[in-house]
Homo-oligomer: A and B are copies of this chain.
Amino acid sequence: MSSIKPRTMPGVLELLPLDQIAFQGMLDTIRRNYERFGFLPVETPVMEFSEVLLTKSGGETERQVYFVQSTGALEQGGTPELALRFDLTVPLARYVAEHEHELSFPFRRYQIQRVYRGERAQRGRFREFYQCDIDVIGKDHLSIRYDAEMPAVIHSVFRELDIGPFTIQLNNRKLIRGFFEDLGIADGERQMLVLREVDKLDKRGADAVRATLQGEGFGLPAEVVARIMDFVSTRSTGHDHALACLERLGRGNPTLAQGADELREVLTLVRAFGVPETHYALNLSIARGLDYYTGTVYETHLTDYPQIGSICSGGRYDNLASHYTKSKLPGVGISIGATRLFWQLREAKLIGTADSTVQVLVTQMDEADLPKYLELAGLLRSAGIPTEVQMEPRKLAKQFQYADRAGIRFVAVLGPDELAKGVVTIKDLRKQDQFEVARGDLVKTLRVEIEQAAAMKGR
């Protein structure tokens, strides 16, 4: 026996229980905020038909897909009929198209599930990771107002996650397109190549990027490059400044003008949603890929940890599900890659191991009194207080040591004295404090302590 080495595949994040509690807390916070904004839960199967999943002629996507075959299908050979989802957007498109006549539009859904990508194994790259998405999908039409709701949700989520100051950065694809068309760069792919070059500004420096854009590959005149560099370096520092930045772009090109109008409306409503102006800004360098987004685009950056990159991104798209339905379904959405975010925050020491979800350990003083310990635990559990009972005899010091190591805050002692007096002694391992409480007051007392602790953690 014991011949097989127990191990997980590379590229997954398997956590020990206290880390799992911290991670679960993050997912719960995200879900709670999504629900507060009126998004409804959807879950889809981890597998989709390959034909449904791989509609796009995307080489990159197909190279990263995990295919699935039952034993029977494997024996028969042939192309796998099933594959694991690589994001939540394609399943959403399939879901909305499939259930179109059973849904109300605008359809507001959240989805928090794992996705799979056959990435090359690399530190910080995951083959299995959680995505936490919201989208609003309209039928035929979706007001630009929903674009302003996304920053409000992002602000609510990250304020509550309490991982430091952050800025939601906004741009608009029409604005980008109009700007480049004005410069005579009309081809979308070429625009993207230029933007990708510009994206290396921080790494390579302005001179190197300028040289590349003026060099053989791009062959852009120095003046055009200067205008590009000026455009993409636009960052607003407050609400009025953001509006002024848009004003400064002028209104020559109708596409650019439309993009600027959309951004203006979004900015105005973002403020009306109550997002403080310290938490949103224009950043005209943000593009978010070529194919998908058509209007507003978002990124979110931690002020003190720029190297982490965007922790929540998304945007507006014209048509969600053209492969599956003739209905036009415009939408806007954002996504948080929770697994990677958790990993990065832990690396940056912004989150540590959580306390246990278990709040109370009921000690065992005398084996014969076990039923009394169980009764006490039952009282606490009925009040919703997670409680563990020391089931086997063990030295008291060991019991305390166990609670301490396990991250359990309160230890309840019910010895002969306590039983005689109708009280319980509570040791608070965090405050290094100890107090006697009448049995009838126990639940109330512990609830207050637990709520105070939760409030202090900003939950």
Q: How many copies make up the complex?
A: 2
Chain A residues 143-180 with CB under 8 Å of chain B are 143, 145-146, 149, 152, 156
B375 x A272 contact (CB < 8 A)? yes
**Is A217 close to B, CB under 8 A?**
no
C-alpha gap A43/B24 in the complex (Å): 10
Within 8 A of B (CB), among A395-416: 402, 405-406
Residue of B nearest to A381 (CB): B36
B71 to A68, Cβ gap below 8 A? no
Say yes or no for A230: interface residue by CB 8 A criterion: no
Cβ of A391 < 8 Å from any Cβ of B? yes
CB within 8 A of A143: which of B18, B84, B392?
B392
**A17 an interface residue at 8 Å Cβ cutoff?**
yes
Q: Using a Cβ–Cβ cut-off of 8 Å, how many residues does chain A contribute to the interface with B?
A: 103
A3 on the B face (CB < 8 A): yes
A116–chain B nearest beta-carbon distance, Å: 8
* CB–CB B71/A67 < 8 A: yes
Q: Which residue in chain B gives the minimum CB-CB distance to A119?
A: B70
- A384 x B71 contact (CB < 8 A): no
Q: Give complex CA distance A45, B371 in Å.
A: 39
Find residues 1-41 in chain A having any chain B CB closer than 8 Å to their own CB. 1-9, 12, 14-18, 20-21, 24, 32, 35-38, 40-41
Residue of B nearest to A75 (CB): B63
Cβ–Cβ < 8 Å partners of A35 in chain B: 357-358, 386
Are A8 and B48 interface neighbours, CB within 8 A? yes
Contact among B24, B67, B99, B402 with A16 in the assembled complex (CB-CB below 8 Å): B99
8 A-B pairs (CB sep. < 8 Å): A4-B52, A20-B40, A36-B387, A37-B381, A40-B358, A62-B71, A63-B72, A143-B392
Closest 9 CB pairs of A and B: A38-B388, A70-B118, A272-B371, A17-B40, A6-B324, A6-B97, A6-B98, A12-B45, A36-B381
Question: 16 additional contacts, CB 8 Å, given A20-B42, A46-B116?
Answer: A1-B323, A1-B326, A6-B94, A12-B45, A17-B42, A21-B40, A37-B387, A38-B389, A40-B358, A41-B357, A62-B71, A65-B71, A67-B71, A72-B118, A106-B391, A156-B381
